[in-house]
Amino acid sequence: MSARLIRAVAPLAVLAAAVIALSGCSGQVQNRANATPPHVVTIEGPITDHDADLLSASWAGWEKANHITILYTGTPDFESGIATEAQQNNAPDLAIFAQPGIINALAQRGYLQSLPASVKTNVTKNFPAIWASYTTTGGTNYAAPLLASVNGWVFYSPKQFAKWGVTVPKTWSDLLALTKQIQSATGAAPWCDGFSVGAESGENGVNWIADLVLRQDGPAVYDQWVNHQIPFTDKRIAKAFDDVSQILLNPGYVNAGIGGVASINTATTPRVASALESGQCALTHQPSSFVNQLTTASGKQASIGPDGDYWAFPLPPITAGTTPVTGGGYFVSAFSDSADTIKVQQYLSSSSWAISRVKLGGAISPDLSLPASTDATPLEQASTRLLQDKHTIFRFDAADLMPAVVGSGTFLTGMVDWVKGTPTKQVLATVNQSWAN
């Protein structure tokens, strides 16, 4: 799932069990109009802690004006537990999902309501058509976009770039040349990265691969890949791994301020931020939420911008002039068709709600009607401009579109194994076999 919404993924065994359970039965769409007190709408999702507080704050004024109470419950295990709740006829009125694949699985088994006409109108009017395609199954859309994220930012220090006399690269080959320039200027590895994120360890590696597949082979091949219309062992996917290896598996290029290549698997995001802050690391490939980790070397709040302590550029394309971007987001689906539920769902798909939320900071919206100036920070504004630029080639996070056993399982563990030294061919074969099974 903030500028990049942290994707909450349950432990593989739990999530796999939920998916297996779903595959064996179908359910009836619930009418929960009388399941909760009048004018109370329940919502569950993976958004927790401070982000959950901001979510509640975003609709507080609307609740009061419309005499509807929204009760939100956030949990990191949401996307495994929601399948069980649906089967037990105990689902919330609305749910916030980060993984379209789970929405489609629940919809195919009759648990979700199709979008009401008023919500469908908002989705058609406010959002890029591709977002609706992610949650449409059998010709029916079951979710409305809520928030967005942009992956693939390369963070750096503008002051260091000026000192070394280097500039932001325009292509992938320029990026490799820049890496070599910095190494020559400093005598040290330019890059730092960390895959250690508990159950999501390996996600940064997954993002690297997705970014390269989109940049090298374009959206058509990317779509075929995430839908398994080409195997994971396809030579184009192998090439993406080979190209990423020029940085991540190169002991001369990583892992600055932390250790060697092997330390990527043990390094956390805060550890990577610390390496960048100390000046030991010059470049790191991260989602936009990485700004929340950054302070100055003295521990003060860092300034983020072209002339700030840190700034970022999108991972460059293979060919100059194109703008491929991967990202993620949240969607809202309904288990209930009560009048109050529909009213809340309509509000959450509106530009009014999007403006309320993004002004609070830490989030961006895929709503095309919102000007970038609505966003609270320079990087969020830059992310919104990317999403809204007609030249941007946007694709949703690959892992979130793949079956859970792959996107939340073997793809993640495969990246960890790859850093440990497992050959690319073996990693790809293992992931491909899990998909086939």
**9, pLDDT greater than 50:** no
Burial of 37 (0-12, 13-18, 19+ CB in 10 A): exposed
- 46/68 Cα distance (integer angstroms): 22
Say how far apart CA 357 and CA 335 lie, in whole Å. 23
Cα(90)–Cα(368) distance, rounded to whole angstroms?
Answer: 35
**Considering just the CA atoms, what is the radius of gyration of the chain in Å?**
22
Q: What is the pLDDT of residue 35?
A: 56
State residue 293's pLDDT score: 86
What is the per-residue pLDDT across 100-151, written as a single tens digit (0 to 9) for each? Answer: 989 999 999 999 999 999 999 999 999 999 999 999 999 999 999 999 999 9
| Conformation bin of residue 171: beta by default, left when phi > 0, alpha when psi is -120 to 50 | beta
CA distance 413 to 437: 17
Rounded to whole angstroms, how far apart are CA atoms 371 and 328? 20
Tell me the C-alpha distance between 327 and 397, whole Å. Answer: 5
Q: At what angle do helices 203-226 and 235-248 cross, to 10 degrees?
A: 160
Question: Mutual orientation of helices 78-87 and 100-108 as an angle, nearest 10°?
Answer: 10
**Mean pLDDT, range 281-303, rounded to an integer:** 86
Q: What pLDDT sits at residue 207?
A: 96
What are 341-352's pLDDT values in tens digits? 999 999 999 999
What is residue 350's predicted lDDT score, i.e. its pLDDT? 98
pLDDT in tens, 33-78: 445 788 999 999 999 999 999 999 999 999 999 999 999 999 988 9
| CB-CB contact of 60 with 53 (8 Å) | no
The confidence score (pLDDT) of residue 418 equals 98
Tens digits of residue pLDDT in 221-273: 999 999 999 999 999 999 999 999 999 999 999 999 999 999 999 999 999 99
Domains of the chain by start residue, with CATH? 12-150+327-398 (3.40.190.10), 153-324+402-436 (3.40.190.10)
Measure the CA–CA gap between 406 and 356, rounded to whole angstroms.
Answer: 36
Could you give the angle at the alpha carbon of 354 between the alpha carbons of 350 and 360, nearest 5°?
155
Convert the pLDDT of each residue in 293-310 to its tens digit.
Answer: 888 777 778 899 999 999
Q: Which pLDDT value is given to residue 124?
A: 97
The per-residue pLDDT for range 370-391, each reduced to its tens digit, is 999 999 889 999 999 999 998 9
What is the per-residue pLDDT for 20? 39
Q: H-helix or E-strand containing 7? A: none
